[in-house]
Chains A and B, each alone.
Chain A
Amino acid sequence: MLIAILTGFIFAILLFFGGKRLVINKLALLPTLIPLGLFIYFIRFIGDISNQNFIYKTYEWIPSLGVNLSFTLDGLSLLFTLLITGIGTLVFAYTSSYLKGHPYLDRFYAYLSVFMAAMLGLVLSDNLISIFVFWELTSISSFFLIGFNNDSEASRKSALTALGITGVGGLLLLAGGLVLGNISGSFSIAEMLGQKDLIQGHEHYILAACLIFGAAFTKSAQFPFHFWLPGAMKAPTPVSTYLHSATMVKAGIYLLFRLSPLMGDTQFWNTTLMIVGGITMLYAAFHSIFRTDMKGILAYTTISALGILVFLIGLGTQESYLAAGVFIIVHALYKATFFMMTGVVDHQAKTRNVTELAGLRKVMLPVAIAGILAAISNAGIPPSVGFVGKDLIYEGTFHFEHSAILLTILAVLTNVFISYAGYVAGIKPFVGKLPEKFEKVKFPSIFLWLPPVLLGSLGFIFGLFPVLIQDALVKPILWSIGQDAAEVHLKLWHGFTPILGLSALTIGAGILLYFLLKPSQKLEHSITRFEKISPKSIMEGVNTVFMMFSAFWTRTFQNGYLRNYVSTIILFLIMLMGFTLIGGTTYHIDYASFAKLTIYEIVILFVLVFAIGLIVFAKSRLAAVVATGIMGYSICLLFVFYSAPDLAMTQFAIDTLTVILFVLVLYRLPKYLKLSDFKVRIRDGVLSIAFGALITILALEVLAQPVNSEISDFYAKNSYLLAHGKNVVNVILVDFRGADTMVEISVLAISAIGVFGLLKLRLKSVERYQK
């Protein structure tokens, strides 16, 4: 199973190395074999799964953190893997024709494969941490796919918005996972299920639920985070088909589904989901009727459908789970059909504006069939599978324990809008008189029209024989979330029930609306007026304020002047340490020790002070360099006095070399100018003196503490016995800590190479640029 997940990643890497020649030429269809193979691989599990033989596999990853790659293939995962690989196959094939000859086709396939692999990993993982990793991978691949037309600014912006929102959602998922892991002591969902009561009774349950909601709502484009999805329609149509209707956006739904047996059945969980889902489905469905861009219509209906799913999960009854499970299948089938059909229209007729499109059935009949099939399934007209799905939704709301009427009205309204939008997108472009400008539209290639027709027909096959999906997919879904599925019988005809009436009402109202309301720019305009108060604009406003703030912050603190960085850091340090030291120091000056001072010491100290003063106030470079030398030699003498002959020798040699170095470059170096004005110098002087005082106090504080000389004693004691050397400093350097010295001389060598490189190897391009 790990190999199945990794296939996509491996393939993407292979494409990176040799993809260009391979894919762009005749073999554009080759990548299709990957999802196809995976589809065949996963479909073999249907037998096991429908007998409730779920499959578990664990690979250890970071055992010390409890992060394992544990995979579960149960009903829910199977449904998603089949959607991912099945629709993936069609999308890959579709792409080969849709982006035929595109110079970056290989790249596109690589992104798609990465996405597919990440998505598979996401739905198969049992561990919340690995779910998070795959979750973010889908966001990242989605970012690249949305921004695929990277020369368009709108594309890039949409990609960033999508990445921002879904990426933040991913972080919330990580946080939520950590909270849950903390409560239960495990990151495995399967293990957590055994501790349901502990989790639900825990004081952080609400927090965990909120974090999970944040993740699911951002990924699945729930109100008020929905706006990234219409923006994501800037992506090439195969991407919209694959990521933004069939699979990725359902990741949030998947997460809620997966966690509902663990976290569900509480007031907070159910109410939140119902409210958010309810608002989303109605809001988006209402918006969809004003759009004129086919993809825009589809984007909003997708959001609405996602809202329905969240809403159904929120109802939390066996019926509603059943409805949600079926609706995932239904929606994936017809929405992918819609998108592919839209892509063909766009590809051939070069427009997606429904107000212009008409009569296209005359030039591309199969596409028209696909569109009509999708529209029928979307509207829930029998005998499509959409009818079965819609029935179940109504069952779910109608039999809910309280406010059933209100919920049902909500569902009906949403469905009316959605079916109207479906007619506009799926039927309108193909009926009526063919405008002159579309007469020359060419017939699309088979890889463009076959996938939508296949998917559309599948919607009818499943509608006529719902038993096909009932045992293989629907029942296992319910089992995998711990619901009873024995009584599930999907059928087309239930007899004359109130539900049938509701369905009829929906279909009728949708058709009526289609004839009453014609999509037009004016209509679209009427809704864009409210754009100012939409969540998108608010979010963008917040974003602008944030950007302004960070720009201000950066200008203030990250201004690129080394001095300012240094002063800020030092100032902070002084305040921090000064605050601690304010309690008073413990050092007492031992005046008696001054008596022991020899004349040499006093002279050296005076020379040092003099040298330091000379450096600071020197007017010329030469004076400063000389003073630096004096300072070095004085310190060297200090080392001589205080029993450090090795240091004295080294310091002497280095000091000599430093002076030589300065002499060599001195006259090539810039002149010694006084650039700062008086005020700045005073400010820096005060800061420096404060810093020096801090160091002095610090040193005195340390000196007042007792010495711990354990290490030194060890070295001193064993220097001769173990290492046969009597100069302990040298023994430490070449023997006890020899490895450190080894690294140190390497560093020295690197600095020498750096100097050599800087001077001898000029950057030719830069110099040419300057000329």
Chain B
Amino acid sequence: MKTLILRTASNYLLPILLLFSIFILLRGHYLPGGGFVGGLIASIAFVLHAFANGLKDTKKLLKFHPGFLMPVGLAISFLSGALPVLVFDEPFMTGLWMHDAIPVLGKLGTALFFDIGVYIVVQGVTLTIIFTISESA
């Protein structure tokens, strides 16, 4: 499927889709979206790129194995849950919020970081599965 059109398109599509996925992730708390969907869209972006340019190029672009995203995401999620325990002596997963809203994002809180963790894990999982399969298929 390495057609010229797709290849060219994917080169533009990848950043746009990634940006879109981050947008979906960040607005998740207020509007439809969130870590799961965002992560899936981001992985679709990479898969599309891999389809167009071959797996090698995508991997080169990524620079590291997508499997490493899983522990990173898990750690972020876990830490955002553990932060209240460690710093404020509150129960696990207590939501902490900043007082003032930030433009675009709205209020910033631990829940957002949790969602970012989910985003990264979902990406890691999907990409690991698909890359592994397409490599050995």
Cα of A755 to Cα of B125 in the assembled complex, Å: 10
> Contact size class for B?
35 or more
Cα of A723 to Cα of B130 in the assembled complex, Å: 35
> Contact size class for A?
35 or more
Minimum distance in angstroms from B42 CB to a CB of chain A: 10
- Whether B132 pairs with A756 at a CB distance below 8 angstroms is yes
Cα of A653 to Cα of B70 in the assembled complex, Å: 19
Cα of A727 to Cα of B115 in the assembled complex, Å: 13
Decide if A578 is an interface residue (CB 8 Å cutoff): no
Task: Give the residue of B81, B92, B109 whose beta carbon is less than 8 angstroms from that of A724.
Answer: B109
Cα of A646 to Cα of B93 in the assembled complex, Å: 23
- Whether A734 pairs with B114 at a CB distance below 8 angstroms is yes
Minimum distance in angstroms from B100 CB to a CB of chain A: 12
- Whether B81 pairs with A656 at a CB distance below 8 angstroms is no
Interface residues of B in 88-137 (CB under 8 A from A): 92-93, 95, 97, 106-107, 109, 111-112, 114-115, 117-118, 121-122, 124-126, 128-130, 132-137
Closest A residue to B35 by CB, please name it.
Answer: A734
Q: When A653-B44, A727-B28, A756-B128 are in contact, do A749 and B74 touch as well, CB less than 8 Å?
A: yes
Decide if B22 is an interface residue (CB 8 Å cutoff): no
Cα of A649 to Cα of B36 in the assembled complex, Å: 10
Cα of A500 to Cα of B126 in the assembled complex, Å: 93
Closest B residue to A657 by CB, please name it.
Answer: B126
Cα of A735 to Cα of B133 in the assembled complex, Å: 34
- Whether B121 pairs with A748 at a CB distance below 8 angstroms is yes
- Whether A727 pairs with B31 at a CB distance below 8 angstroms is yes
Enumerate chain A residues within 8 angstroms of B92, measured Cβ to Cβ.
739
Q: When A657-B43, A657-B130, A723-B95 are in contact, do A749 and B34 touch as well, CB less than 8 Å?
A: no
Decide if A195 is an interface residue (CB 8 Å cutoff): no
Closest A residue to B41 by CB, please name it.
Answer: A653
Decide if A534 is an interface residue (CB 8 Å cutoff): no
- Whether A650 pairs with B124 at a CB distance below 8 angstroms is no
Enumerate chain B residues within 8 angstroms of A723, measured Cβ to Cβ.
95, 111
Minimum distance in angstroms from A657 CB to a CB of chain B: 6
Enumerate chain B residues within 8 angstroms of A741, measured Cβ to Cβ.
77, 114, 118
Decide if A103 is an interface residue (CB 8 Å cutoff): no
Decide if A101 is an interface residue (CB 8 Å cutoff): no
Enumerate chain B residues within 8 angstroms of A771, measured Cβ to Cβ.
none
- Whether B128 pairs with A745 at a CB distance below 8 angstroms is no
- Whether A727 pairs with B30 at a CB distance below 8 angstroms is yes
Decide if A699 is an interface residue (CB 8 Å cutoff): no
Decide if A751 is an interface residue (CB 8 Å cutoff): yes
- Whether A751 pairs with B32 at a CB distance below 8 angstroms is no
- Whether B121 pairs with A730 at a CB distance below 8 angstroms is no
Closest A residue to B24 by CB, please name it.
Answer: A649
Question: A653, A657, A729, A733: which has the most chain B beta carbons within 10 Å?
Answer: A653
Closest B residue to A744 by CB, please name it.
Answer: B118
Enumerate chain B residues within 8 angstroms of A733, measured Cβ to Cβ.
34-36, 118
- Whether A749 pairs with B33 at a CB distance below 8 angstroms is no
Cα of A746 to Cα of B124 in the assembled complex, Å: 11
- Whether B121 pairs with A660 at a CB distance below 8 angstroms is no
Interface 0/1 of A754-771, CB less than 8 Å to B: 011001100000000000
Cα of A733 to Cα of B38 in the assembled complex, Å: 14
Decide if A616 is an interface residue (CB 8 Å cutoff): no
- Whether A742 pairs with B77 at a CB distance below 8 angstroms is yes
Minimum distance in angstroms from B73 CB to a CB of chain A: 7
Closest B residue to A666 by CB, please name it.
Answer: B137
Q: When A653-B37, A660-B130, A661-B130 are in contact, do A725 and B29 touch as well, CB less than 8 Å?
A: yes
Shortest Cβ-Cβ A-B pairs, 4 listed: A653-B40, A645-B32, A725-B29, A752-B125
Known contacts A649-B33, A742-B77, A749-B71; 16 additional CB pairs below 8 A are A650-B36, A650-B37, A650-B40, A653-B44, A660-B130, A665-B133, A724-B111, A726-B31, A727-B28, A727-B33, A727-B34, A739-B81, A745-B74, A751-B129, A753-B67, A753-B70
Q: List 7 A-B contacts (CB under 8 A).
A: A646-B37, A657-B130, A665-B137, A724-B111, A726-B29, A733-B35, A746-B74
